Amino acid sequence: MEAIPPPSFSLQTALIKSLKQAKPAFLRYYYMTFENLDLIAPIQKALKTEGYEKPTPIQEQAIPVILKRKDLLGCAQTGTGKTAAFAIPMLQIMYNEKQADKGSKKIKALILTPTRELAIQIGESFKAYGQHTGLRHVVIFGGVSQKSQTDALQSGVDILVATPGRLLDLMNQGFVDLRHISLFTLDEADRMLDMGFVHDVKKVIAKLPAKRQSLFFSATMPPAIVKLASAILIDPVKVEVTPVSSTADTVGQAVYFVDKKSKKSLLLHMLEDEAIESVLVFTRTKHLANRVSQDLTKAGVRAEAIHGNKSQNARQNALQNFKNRKTRVLVATDIAARGIDVDELSHVINFDLPNVPETYVHRIGRTGRAGASGMAYSFCDAEERAYLKDIHKLIGKNIPVVEDHPFPAQDTAPVQAKAPERRQQQGQKRTTDFRKSRNNWSGRGRQNRD
């Protein structure tokens, strides 16, 4: 039988082109690179320097929308590459505007974020992606002297990254003028709500020009956040990647049933495993974070705590030591840990289970980021069985139980205390509210920016 000749080069090219246009999910991921996103040369060069090749799903979807100067509502859990999804197109837009208005020292872009750690992380991202653009960015946050921040502002800034409190303070002192903002990003909106910053956010928004592009990012969409988004955005494009009820496939999960009094002993036992090179341990309270850190240090384990009562310098030093692997264990509360971005974090341990199930997803999302693998272990005492049940319901599966360990729980019945019951009910209500609001989101235009 005569062999069938291979298709000509031109035919092969046509076939590949047609397959790209069809864009099934696996082919889109295979072919999509940052070069396909129409990014300017200075940003392409920076991304290559940083080792970026393929965009994550949220980057692939959000970057073209933002470059078209449309408002965007982004719903994505932590670890999806969200910061780059808005930082890269913002840099490109600001770069193009700068070329048309050289010499301007006016602030043209604002990113509002809830925590100091996250603000610093975002600033590092703008520095990395914008290293060849000549754009100037400044990060301002409270807890430290404002002198270096005000000096930088007076020297001229293109892009401002800020936390609400310090921003309002410097606005009142006349150091920050938001009248020329053309691009505004509100990041971690749900955390703003949790931390009680919504009123401050509204004060900032009231000072922004009515004519602007707005980007809104939140991992969850409770009713208050839906209302805030409706007030900020005009006819937004919605981008939703991996809803909060999902846990990343790259994160392995396991739960240990253990009595509360044996949790520290179990933690020390687990840390005897040298494979746990770098671990973020979550506690429910600041006081317990300190105690766990101190106990680990006494046992010869390099550990530090990070929470809201720590000074800014102490928090940054602890985080830097953890990133540099000088510290093996970082013990954190939920709010302090928001925005922690550590390359190749191998493990997360929930010393306490969170009483709100969405928080569990946020916590374990600190590992297994950007395609890397990770492991999340949870300690569950009798009082926390109801929380575990809520988590199972949210993520749609049961977490495997580790039964062979030296500190098995003696008390297997949940304690019927009023406080845990009340916290459980609050967690269930927030889960229900989130699901209803996510399903009912209509993307309505803004009725009132204020």
**289-347 residue pLDDT tens:** 999 999 999 999 999 998 877 777 888 888 889 988 899 999 998 766 665 667 668 89
Lowest-confidence segment of 209-213, 331-335, 409-413 by average pLDDT:
409-413
The helix (H) or strand (E) run that includes residue 373 is none
Kindly state whether residue 39 falls inside one of the protein's structural domains.
Answer: yes
* Residues 147 and 285 reside in one and the same domain: no
Residue 376 phi/psi, 5-degree rounding, is: -120, 120
Number of separate domains in the chain = 2
Asked if residue 436 has pLDDT above 60, the reply is: no
Quickly state the pLDDT bin for 358 (edges 50, 70, 90).
Answer: confident
Contact in structure between 368 and 343 (CB atoms under 8 Å): no
Residues 246-262: tens digit of each pLDDT: 666 678 999 999 999 99
408 token code pair: 């098995």
Same domain? 80 vs 203: yes
User: How far is CA 46 from each of CA 36, 51, 88, rounded to the nearest angstrom?
Assistant: 15, 9, 10
Q: Are residues 43 and 99 in the same domain?
A: yes
Residue at a domain's end among 216, 241, 266 = 241
Reported as a pLDDT band with limits 50, 70 and 90, residue 431 is: very low
Q: What is the pLDDT of residue 372?
A: 63
**Residue among 291, 279, 308, 250 nearest 114 (CA):** 308
The share of the chain scoring above pLDDT 70, in percent, equals 78
Residue 4, domain member (yes or no): no
End-to-end CA distance of the chain: 76
* Mean pLDDT score, 371-394: 88
| 307 contacts 295 by C-beta, under 8 angstroms | no
What is the structure's pLDDT at 419? 32
Say if 449 falls within a structural domain.
no
Q: Judge contact between 84 and 370, C-beta under 8 A.
A: no
Q: Which residue has the higher pLDDT, 410 or 111?
A: 111
Same domain? For 314 and 383 the reply is yes
Residue 246 lies in a domain: no
* Domain-embedded: residue 439: no
- Where residue 85 falls (left for φ over 0; alpha for ψ -120 to 50; beta otherwise) is alpha
Q: Are residues 67 and 208 in the same domain?
A: yes
Domain boundary among 201, 219, 241: 241
Indicate if 234 and 255 belong to the same structural domain.
no
| Domain CATH number, residue 103 | 3.40.50.300
Please give the DSSP secondary-structure letter assigned to residue 144: S
pLDDT category at 448 given cuts 50, 70, 90 is very low
Residue 376 lies in a domain: yes
Residue 448 falls inside a structural domain = no
- Same domain? 82 vs 172: yes
Instruction: State the pLDDT at residue 53.
Output: 80
Where residue 284 falls among pLDDT bands split at 50, 70, 90? confident
| Contact yes or no for 191/362 (Cβ under 8 A) | no
Q: Which residue's entry shows tokens 């990770």?
A: 374
Tokens of 84: 């780059």
Q: What is the pLDDT of residue 146?
A: 94
Instruction: Judge if 177 and 304 occupy the same domain.
Output: no
Contact between 69 and 213 under an 8 Å Cβ cutoff? The reply is: yes
Q: Based on the domain organization, do 270 and 213 belong to the same domain?
A: no
Task: Give the model's confidence band at 91: pLDDT under 50 very low, under 70 low, under 90 confident, else very high.
Answer: very high
Task: Using the predicted structure, report yes or no on whether residue 133 has a pLDDT greater than 80.
Answer: yes
Encoded tokens for 412: 């297997």
The overall average pLDDT reported for the chain is: 82
Vertex 353, ends 352 and 355: CA angle to 5°?
120
SS3 of residue 61 by DSSP: helix
Q: Which two tokens stand for residue 154?
A: 């007076």
Does one domain contain both 131 and 59? yes
Structural domain includes residue 89: yes
Domain extent, residue 330, equals: 251-431
Tokens describing residue 136: 């100037």
Exposure of 235 in the CB half-sphere (CA atoms within 13 A): 4
- Does residue 379 surpass a pLDDT of 90? yes
pLDDT surpassing 90 at residue 242 = no
The residue type at 57: P
Look at residue 371 and tell me whether its pLDDT is greater than 60: no
Question: Which is higher by pLDDT, 61 or 307?
Answer: 61
Q: Do 18 and 154 have their domain in common?
A: yes
Residue 262 structure tokens: 């044996």
Instruction: Indicate the SS3 state at residue 375.
Output: strand
> pLDDT grade, residue 116 (50/70/90)?
confident
Q: Are 163 and 114 in contact (CB under 8 A)?
A: yes
Res. 361: pLDDT tops 50: yes
293/391 same-domain check: yes
